[in-house]
Chain A
């Protein structure tokens, strides 16, 4: 199994630009999570999906952030417009909804907004 796949691995953009982060979960997993990690705030859950349906988006910082999961094998996290304070590492993780509940993390996308 290839594990959770994220793209791009690194993104450098200018303030005001739209940024789209992509995630392919592990096949057969039906829960998907988006996290943001910074030195100041640690690892924060932004949103998670069960069976492609958003369950809890209370961690999404503001309306500039949106996430979609059009099918079981793909999700996007979009920031529009981006701001320097959005600079962070964004992780996608997937898990089985039932059973052991361990989450499998992707390698992350390091976002730098200038």
Chain B
């Protein structure tokens, strides 16, 4: 079953623009993670935000978490063509089992 639901399903922007992806989930979580998947490859971990954190930065990535709304957002600033990929949010429900959303396909045009 999918816990996180990403929005939008697909996003197309110009290089240099910012990209924002949203994730909603249903149950209480320990943490929320974002992963990237390039075509034909495995998923790569981007960033993890714990349930007691509200915002986290890593390079050009900014993640927010609102546990009251059960939602998170991933912002990629100054996007590059190499950022073209699918982005998934994943929630950790218990132990270290992750439940992944359906993903957002990001296309950055150069």
Instruction: Give A residues with C-beta under 8 Å from B.
Output: 4, 31, 33, 42-43, 45, 48, 50, 55-56, 91, 93, 95, 97, 100-108
12 contacts between A and B (CB under 8 A): A42-B2, A42-B100, A42-B102, A50-B95, A100-B48, A101-B48, A101-B92, A102-B33, A104-B45, A105-B35, A105-B42, A105-B44
**B59 smallest CB distance to A (angstroms):** 16
Q: Which residue of A lies closest to B88 (CB)?
A: A43
Q: B96 touches which one: A43, A91, A101, A105 (CB < 8 A)?
A: A101
Interface of chain B, main secondary structure: strand
Which residue, of A33, A55, A97, A102, has the highest number of chain B Cβ atoms within 10 A? A102
- Residue total for B at the interface (Cβ-Cβ under 8 A): 22
Map CB proximity to A onto B87-110 as digits: 1 under 8 Å, 0 otherwise.
010001001111111110000000
10 pairs of A and B residues whose beta carbons are closest in the complex: A105-B42, A102-B45, A43-B100, A105-B43, A101-B96, A42-B102, A107-B42, A108-B42, A106-B42, A31-B96
Total inter-chain residue pairs, C-beta < 8 Å: 53
Interface of chain A, main secondary structure: strand
**A25 smallest CB distance to B (angstroms):** 13
Q: Which residue of B lies closest to A50 (CB)?
A: B95
> Would you call B69 an interface residue if the criterion is a C-beta within 8 Å of the partner chain's C-beta atoms?
no
> Would you call B31 an interface residue if the criterion is a C-beta within 8 Å of the partner chain's C-beta atoms?
yes
CB contacts (< 8 Å) of A55 on chain B: these are: 95, 97
> Would you call B60 an interface residue if the criterion is a C-beta within 8 Å of the partner chain's C-beta atoms?
no
CB contacts (< 8 Å) of B97 on chain A: these are: 33, 45, 48, 55-56
CB contacts (< 8 Å) of B45 on chain A: these are: 102-104
CB contacts (< 8 Å) of B48 on chain A: these are: 100-102
Interface residues of B in 29-66 (CB under 8 A from A): 30-31, 33, 35, 41-45, 48
